[in-house]
Structure 1
Amino acid sequence: MRTIYLNGNYIPETEGKISVFDRGFLFSDAVYEVVSVLDGKLVDFNGHVQRLARSLSETGISGAPDTSSWLEICRALVSRNAVEEGMIYWQVTRGAPQDRDFVFPPADTPPTVLAFTQSRALADNPSAQRGLRVVTMPDLRWGRADIKTTQLLYASLMKNEAIARGADDVWMERDGWITEGSAQNAHIITTEGVLVTHPLNREILHGITRAAVLPLVAQQIEERRFSVNEAEQAAEAFVSSASGFVMPVVQINGHVIGNGTPGSATVQLRQAYIGWARHTAI
């Protein structure tokens, strides 16, 4: 049985309990992070803990563990659950006041802090061999996609709609411009060999994997918006995320990208990232 961390305690997952008045449950008033595990070590830990701190600051949630405490929690969960490869999720809510109220609870209300593992193949993910098929749908999320909150209902609805249409995932768009995937940053490589990626602003999550991947890119990089039409005509396409690393996209809205198999530049970038991740994991 899996061991989780909840509010200072390591307990069996079946014993984890939170209040029905927890604001994470009632309002999605919570932020989270996910850190990958390779060879029993944490990938890009500092990047993720820094982004969590930003999300906490932007939402005004206080009282979460500090960096050294998160490191201790993660390493304990990896050990207790014998995780060689997979992910660790961290979630911090604004806590559980005595009743439901739109007004924030008193400042001394302790946050609810949860962390748990998921064992899963990452480096040898079969999707990386065949590539993903995506469809585009309107991005109707709230205007602060740069904060990693647990408000994931719309992205979940769109991903399931994409699967119902015979695709693997969704790329969301606003006014014809691609923003990002359901849980990934989106990128294309043009026929001229230029890697194009959406600029960092409030429309997308500031991906930690994205930040690690871009310095490994051999191509020229342009941080700018790109349209659905430009994506459909790209030479290569891929997504980046903590759980998927660099994942090729071989079809967009039924349009075959390249020759319909993972592109050589994307494959090389995926291997370069995995090598970097193994070398730098702690």
Structure 2
Amino acid sequence: MDPIAYVNGSFVPLSEAKVSILDRGFLFADGIYEVAAVLDGKLVDSASHLARLERSVGEIGLALPESVARIEELQKELIARNQLDNGMVYLQVTRGADKSRDFPFPKGVTPTLIMFVTVKDIVNAPSAKTGIGVITVPDIRWARRDIKSVALLAQVLAKQAAAAAGAGEAWMIEDGQITEGGSSSAFILTKDDVIVTRPNSNAILPGCTRKAVVALAEERQLKVEERAFTVEEALKAKEAFITSASAFVQPVVTIDGKPVGDGRVGPMATRLREIYIDFARATAV
């Protein structure tokens, strides 16, 4: 069956989904995107993703063509039409298609809104039991990484380097410190059992899964420090892991080919993954 996509007010077969070649998302990366997980046919952490969407479009002066409540309704309908049990919903909004390619914001143009789904069994991913390796690369992105921009070329290059090296993710380095992964937030567990992750700022994307994991850890009286850390500190840590909507909590067992801790999946990452999955199932809509 041809999957169903949503394009500017209509549900259409994915093979027939089209936008103009003059769309500013295509020409200028003038747009914002979101990715939400789906478990058992329901959206995970939807309110957090939609709040981030609202913030991101606000930061670039882009008006949503639908309310966030309506967008959530459309996502749910898309899930139902595709009979999706487990996977992801991708959403992208751009400033739309003008009559010409000009840099300033066009007037009287309706924003483009598209959505599609992918099938993915995040809960039962084999890498959750084996862990992944990460490599480090320079962080060459723009200064406003807190905006979930569709301008992802730097991340594409980082993740391609990881794939070429047989790694599961790339950690980006700036001023000697880890900012975040190509599509994930970075965490370590120190020898003193402190969970460390970089604080939110313009330097990183405010991860929705990161936010939930930090809150869930603190609710269980686990010590969390939001501060920057180096590769050297990560290699001396007990454990390392990443969080994202597409992976939940994913253990990291090597960095640039060197083991983290004993080089095996640790109990903290495993427990936080279990806690997050319970949260995701309990709060999905």
What amino acid does structure 2 have at the position aligned with 1:241? Answer: S
Aligned 8 A contact 2:57 2:64 in 1: no
After TM superposition, the structure 1 = structure 2 runs for residues 174-253 of structure 1, keeping only pairs within 5 Å, are: 174-217=174-217, 218=220, 219-253=222-256
More divergent stretch after superposition (214-223 vs 167-176): 214-223
Q: Which residue does 1:8 correspond to in 2?
A: 9
3-state SS of 1:173 partner: strand
Task: Identify which of 260, 266, 269 aligns with 1:266.
Answer: 269
3-state SS of 2:243 partner: strand
Q: CA RMSD in A?
A: 0.9
Deviations 1:91-149 (A, max 9, x none): 0000000000111111x310000011111111111111110100111101000110001
The 2-side partners of 1:247 and 1:57 are apart by: 31
Aligned 8 A contact 1:63 1:110 in 2: no
The 1-side partners of 2:204 and 2:244 are apart by: 13
Gaps spanning 5+ residues in structure 1: where?
none
Aligned 8 A contact 1:145 1:204 in 2: yes
User: When the two structures are aligned, how many residues end up with a matched partner?
Assistant: 281
Q: Which residue does 1:85 correspond to in 2?
A: 86
Shift of 1:258: 1.8
Aligned 8 A contact 1:232 1:253 in 2: no
Deviations 1:192-214 (A, max 9, x none): 11111001001100001111111
Shift of 1:22: 0.5
Shift of 1:68: 1.7
3-state SS of 1:146 partner: coil
Shift of 1:253: 1.4
Give % identity.
46
After TM superposition, the structure 1 = structure 2 runs for residues 138-149 of structure 1, keeping only pairs within 5 Å, are: 138-149=138-149
Which aligned segments of 4 or more residues in structure 1 are displaced greater than 4 angstroms? none
Aligned 8 A contact 2:8 2:112 in 1: yes
Aligned 8 A contact 2:96 2:111 in 1: yes
Shift of 1:255: 1.6
After TM superposition, the structure 1 = structure 2 runs for residues 43-122 of structure 1, keeping only pairs within 5 Å, are: 43-106=44-107, 108-122=108-122
Shift of 1:64: 2.6
Shift of 1:165: 2.1
The 1-side partners of 2:281 and 2:64 are apart by: 32
What amino acid does structure 2 have at the position aligned with 1:245? Answer: F
Gaps spanning 5+ residues in structure 2: where?
none
Aligned 8 A contact 1:34 1:90 in 2: yes
Shift of 1:63: 3.5
Q: What TM-score, normalized to structure 1? A: 0.98
What amino acid does structure 1 have at the position aligned with 2:283? Answer: T
The 1-side partners of 2:125 and 2:15 are apart by: 29
The 2-side partners of 1:123 and 1:167 are apart by: 20
More divergent stretch after superposition (64-73 vs 5-14): 64-73
Deviations 1:1-41 (A, max 9, x none): 00000000000011111111100000111100011100111
